[in-house]
Amino acid sequence: MEMVDWSRIPGTCWYRPEDAQAAVEALAHSASAGQAVRALADLRSAVSNDHAGTLYPAAVPATSVFLRVISDRPGPPRQEALNTLLDWWGCFQPEPGFETYEDPSSGSVALIEGITSHVRSAADVLHRVMDDPSEGGGHRPGARLLLAKLDRGWTAASV
């Protein structure tokens, strides 16, 4: 998993980079699905504001974490990561004043474009997961829906 210096990413006074870092570390060391799900929920909380429906710039690198989990961690962790991206997609907007993310490798990118770019790059993973019958296949509708939303762009339209 790529190394992220969460403390170098700007955000509102509610963004806690130490919480994002702790969540990623907890995820990496999680011994159970429950621990992984808790770490993912903590990461989501660290990089977004569910009450306001806003995303902080750290949501861009967090998207990569969620996509890695979707790829590699079947069961409840995969579902939690899918649910996060589905909840964000088209419903959340950047926190006012924090509409861009400074990508260390490519420079400034609009926050929504940064997220959609990561998801677009993982389309093959989502197709694989959509066809994966493991764990009863409960994750398949979420992967299918995320791919459909990707095709439509960041809109609030429902499927």
Evaluate if residue 5 carries a pLDDT over 60: yes
In a domain, 115, yes or no: yes
CATH of the domain at 133: 1.25.40
In a domain, 140, yes or no: yes
What's the rounded mean pLDDT across residues 77-89? 97
Secondary-structure percent of the chain, ordered helix, strand, coil, rounded to 5: 60, 10, 35
pLDDT (0 to 100) of residue 2: 62
Contact 139, 81 (CB under 8 A): no
Count structural domains, the chain.
1
In a domain, 103, yes or no: yes
112-145 pLDDT tens trace: 999 999 999 999 999 999 998 887 888 899 999 9
In a domain, 157, yes or no: no
pLDDT (0 to 100) of residue 135: 76
In a domain, 25, yes or no: yes
In a domain, 159, yes or no: no
Q: Using CA atoms, how far apart are residues 108 and 27, in angstroms rounded to an integer?
A: 28
* Residue ranges making up the domain that contains 30: 6-152
Quote the pTM value. 0.94
In a domain, 133, yes or no: yes
